[in-house]
Chain A
């Protein structure tokens, strides 16, 4: 195994997570260090006290405003976020095994579900990327928009490849992650011996890069949108 691979799946992960958490603290702190303006800028009609929270959560999870203004964009964006959620939930399987009777079902469903979610994620990201090359898309795009989407597609494609073609047992990855979480970046022997280590390293390199970019990019909208929607509904 090359040193680069060892570094990417070992220390680099800690470095990326470190930058991610401290960067995020800095970014969120910057928001809250300034006082809000007393001007209420909500759109009328205002929801009643009891329903405001529900409206805000619905706005953030389903962004119904986009349905009206751009249906295709809404469909792609919704599929994108939904499959992202599915993929993240799927990775929980790396953390623990289900009870035995459930585990057999999960392991059967795991590959097709992973493929479907990964494909949905990639394709919706591809649509979001493609629309940035249209004349109107170019007007609202910056370099970072393209790069972030490419990074996400790289995460998705390497992830699907690992899911579909890796000869390694799930247990190997579980051991790897457990070691990582226990701050003992000890790499399991089967992984070190596998020819798929490069693919795995490519997957983790993309994730590391995304984690590093995250706090300094527009991706923080996943936190901020709850507040801006709260303001709009108030």
Chain B
């Protein structure tokens, strides 16, 4: 490494310099309140990884490069090399889930995740990124170039889902439309057939004018902390929506994808989007309100709801999922605390996709586990793919004996009890049967 790394790191740091970062770096009074608000510090699984520590690494790093401290460098050479500093930053930045609960606990309102975001950008500039996340990001971006080949394959797969969809809905004309120009809504799904058929059932039953996006909602470029690549990933969907002329882009049950499209992309690209961005929970709650969905049977087991950080605290969707759940569930129990104070599940920030962090995931999920046990719920509903994966791992690792469902799965049970009997796996849209 050496001068080249130093140069690229500080160039990126300079590029990331803005008023927010200055405040977040300079105002900390080091009171330590953030530690008590962080699920990692509280669970003790992160061995010293407090929000303060994660942020302070960048404070120390930036002092290496700028300002008055340069004058004193001959007197006080930093005790660690730049490689050591970057390595520490790598360990800290990519093990933060970015839930921003520490920000709600900080008396000054410092956004530690903003700082770890800059750390990630610096690390990305010198090529220190988790391999899995980079691979997933590159695959997403590459997809645009090989779209022609990929498109036919996907359409065929989707067509293969339709018989099952007709059986589930009992509607002979039920379909999963793709590439429909002038449709009201472009639905951006999560990858995987079971993530598509559930929402497809609901849209068909409600008679929605929709079309399925060719792209997946997830944005690993965002987890990478590389805004340039995150924009490229999100841009694919924006282009498609503009081409089709839809009024709404509706993001699947996914936390970060919603936040990126709704709140971050317009700021990053400095443009106003010519369509509305919604979480899929918004139209679904509206269907229930308007009586467009017939609830066949209410679910009587105790159900609780986990607010995904990127959807709740960072996205603003609190009401709709609760509306939907209350409509189909007899015994709904809130987790304590909930909403903007809800504990992170421990799977965010791309951590869930990293094989090397499995033990860390289990350890740092302890606050979540305690919360779920205290609620006494048998079913945990959450509209975020990362959260569901993490909660399922916690469920296994801690023997919680609960079911982890998406909102679509929960809704599917209430809508389809006659057509689609419950399976052992608890999947209301079981495909292989």
Contacts and interface: CB of A to CB of B under 8 A. Distances in A.
Interface residues of A, number: 42
A63 B107 contact: yes
A160 B18 CA distance: 43
B30 interface: yes
Contacts, number: 132
A46 interface: yes
A229 B264 CA distance: 20
Given A43-B314, A45-B316, A69-B105, A231 B20 contact: yes
Contacts of A101: none
Given A32-B19, A34-B17, A44-B316, A224 B30 contact: no
A31 B30 contact: no
B52 to A, nearest CB: 5
B231 to A, nearest CB: 12
Interface in A115-139: 136-137, 139
Interface stretch (B33-41, B161-169, B364-372): B33-41
Interface stretch (A13-21, A140-148, A192-200): A140-148
Interface residues of B, number: 48
B374 interface: no
Interface string A15-50: 000000000000000111011111111011110000
B195 interface: no
Contacts of A229: 108-109
Given A41-B114, A140-B52, A221 B27 contact: yes
A140 to B, nearest CB: 4
A220 B26 contact: yes
Contacts of B31: 66, 70, 73, 77, 140
Nearest to B315: A44
B98 to A, nearest CB: 12
B48 interface: yes
Interface string A42-77: 011110000000000001000101101110010001
Most chain B beta-carbon neighbours within 10 Å: one of A41, A142, A218, A220: A41
A200 B26 CA distance: 33
Given A37-B19, A139-B52, A220-B27, A43 B108 contact: no
A44 B308 CA distance: 12
A191 to B, nearest CB: 36
B104 interface: yes
Interface string B231-273: 0000000000000000000000000000000011001101000
Interface in A215-234: 218, 220-221, 224-225, 227-229, 231-233
A90 to B, nearest CB: 25
B109 A59 contact: yes
A174 B122 CA distance: 56
Most chain A beta-carbon neighbours within 10 Å: one of B22, B52, B100, B268: B22
Nearest to B106: A65
Given A44-B316, A68-B105, A140-B35, 9 more contacts: A34-B17, A40-B263, A41-B20, A43-B100, A65-B105, A66-B31, A225-B108, A227-B23, A228-B23
Interface of A: 30-32, 34-41, 43-46, 59, 63, 65-66, 68-70, 73, 77, 136-137, 139-142, 145, 218, 220-221, 224-225, 227-229, 231-233
8 contacts: A31-B23, A38-B267, A44-B313, A45-B339, A66-B31, A70-B33, A73-B31, A140-B35
Which 7 A/B pairs are nearest by Cβ-Cβ distance? A232-B109, A63-B107, A44-B316, A36-B19, A140-B32, A228-B109, A37-B18
